[in-house]
Structure 1
Amino acid sequence: MSNPTEGFIRTFEDIVREVNGRAGSPSSHSFEIERASERDGTVKKNRALLVYVRDVRNALQHPKHRSDGNAIEISRAFLDEVGALLNHLRNPPTANSVGVPRKEINTARLTDQLGDLADEMKRGGFTHVPILDERDTVIGVFNEAAVFHFLWAEPETIVGRQMKISDIFDSCSLDANRMETFRFLGPRTPLDSLIEMFLAVESPLTRVGAAFVTASGKETEPLQRLITPWDVLAMSTDV
């Protein structure tokens, strides 16, 4: 490109096409930011910057002054920022780029001992251990909340290091009545949807504790990725 201002105009045109497509009006001659914001979380999150970019473009292409030349000039840094915005709209972060992939997830089986799992969690600094069956599908989660749930449900009982997951599985199952729930998602779930999911309060005492990514978001499919609220918060600060 010959200069940043010309590059900005071309990038803006690409952004308009991207946003209008998300608005469901690909042939519109207007910049459909508001309509797209209502339908798309990525556009909504970047609405303020999109409006600013639109205003800069209007100042360039619809000047009010009579003198020659542009009243403003686009800097390389601003052009880079606008280009990054276009790339973000075209390739928004998804569930497949957040969290821990299957090969790095610490998992458990019904026959595993609680003491060994607790030691691994302490050494690794992780909080949720998915419990898998023979098909590699998630059937439960072992964490501190599960242990407390078991102790609360079974008065005058003791949790020993030699106990197995199967001994407390009622408190580890996905439908156990705990203060957190778990979701299953497809790999193309947008990061913005993940942020909303983890910030939402499902009840006065319940939030989503972790999300499991499978091929199409079904609970009956093998685990592909584990996502916790911390993974999403860390990722969201970079976009």
Structure 2
Amino acid sequence: MSEATETFIRIFEEIVGEVNRRAGAPGSHAFEIERAADRDGTVRRHRTLLLYIRDVRNTLQHPRHHAPGHAVQVTEGFLTEVQDLLRRLRNPPTANSVGVARRDIRTARLDDQLGELAEIMKREGFSHLPILDERDTVIGVFNEAAVFDHLWAEPEMIIGRGMRIEDILSHCRLGAGHTETFKFVRPGTPLDDLVQMFVALESPTTRVGAAFVTASGKETDPLQRMITPWDVLAGARD
């Protein structure tokens, strides 16, 4: 048996332990992939790979051929992928490891002028600016949807560069009813749960535009991080 194969079988047993723990069956002698997938987003996302790894291990340890040697060979590339999966199961990336930390987030305040914020968004490529109060809690989001909502609120409505956030705050509120909604999550929320949150539609015409990380996962706590769909896609590929 090659060194790569021996390493693969050892890592496989460790993966079984991690998956069965997530399945709530740490003492099971079976590989509880399906039970774990029903309970855990990380296992669910990697279910196909886990099933494949199980089949490779069974082929190696329970051969059905008579010729000498193994029917399959564990490559270094495949072994690396299996090791990465074990690492992800043991230390799954969370909301605290993706997105932008509070100190680097460009935010808006009630007395900020719309023209200045629009220039910043255009120059630096931002699509959303969280609006914070004096406690650093998110009370709304300034984006294109808020501007258009304000323009269409009444006939002959105008919007000027010198207007301030407080002038259109009702259209920036988190529950303003745009095609985007905004979620609040805890720092320990698994990355795989964030992936599912962003890909799912809130309604046929509504999706999640950004997630805000707070200590409790509630909007009443100060902002710690901001996560966009792009951040989650980048983190899921790592």
Partner secondary structure for residue 160 of structure 1: coil
The equivalent of 1:154 in structure 2 is: 154
Percent sequence identity is 68
CA distance in 1, matches of 2:51, 2:95: 27
1:227 shift after superposition: 1.1
The equivalent of 1:113 in structure 2 is: 113
The equivalent of 2:129 in structure 1 is: 129
The equivalent of 1:58 in structure 2 is: 58
Partner secondary structure for residue 207 of structure 1: strand
Go from structure 1 to structure 2 and tell me whether the alpha carbon gap of 1:179 and 1:73 turns closer, same or farther (over 3 Å shift). closer
Letter in 2 for 1:186: R
CA distance in 1, matches of 2:26, 2:39: 14
- 2:5 paired with 1:5: yes
Unaligned 5+ segments in structure 1 are none
CA distance in 2, matches of 1:215, 1:127: 24
- 2:230 paired with 1:230: yes
Q: How many residues align?
A: 237
The equivalent of 1:22 in structure 2 is: 22
TM-score by length of 1: 0.94
Go from structure 1 to structure 2 and tell me whether the alpha carbon gap of 1:177 and 1:64 turns closer, same or farther (over 3 Å shift). closer
1:222 shift after superposition: 0.7
The equivalent of 1:185 in structure 2 is: 185
CA RMSD between the two structures? 1.5
CA distance in 1, matches of 2:202, 2:27: 39
Go from structure 1 to structure 2 and tell me whether the alpha carbon gap of 1:203 and 1:68 turns closer, same or farther (over 3 Å shift). closer
1:68 shift after superposition: 5.2
Go from structure 1 to structure 2 and tell me whether the alpha carbon gap of 1:77 and 1:177 turns closer, same or farther (over 3 Å shift). closer
Go from structure 1 to structure 2 and tell me whether the alpha carbon gap of 1:123 and 1:24 turns closer, same or farther (over 3 Å shift). same
Deviations 1:137-186 (CA, angstroms, capped at 9, x unpaired): 10111011001111111321211111111111111111212221111001
Deviations 1:4-31 (CA, angstroms, capped at 9, x unpaired): 1111111000000000011111000000
Partner secondary structure for residue 130 of structure 1: strand
CA distance in 2, matches of 1:96, 1:156: 45
Unaligned 5+ segments in structure 2 are none
CA distance in 2, matches of 1:185, 1:4: 40
Partner secondary structure for residue 189 of structure 1: coil
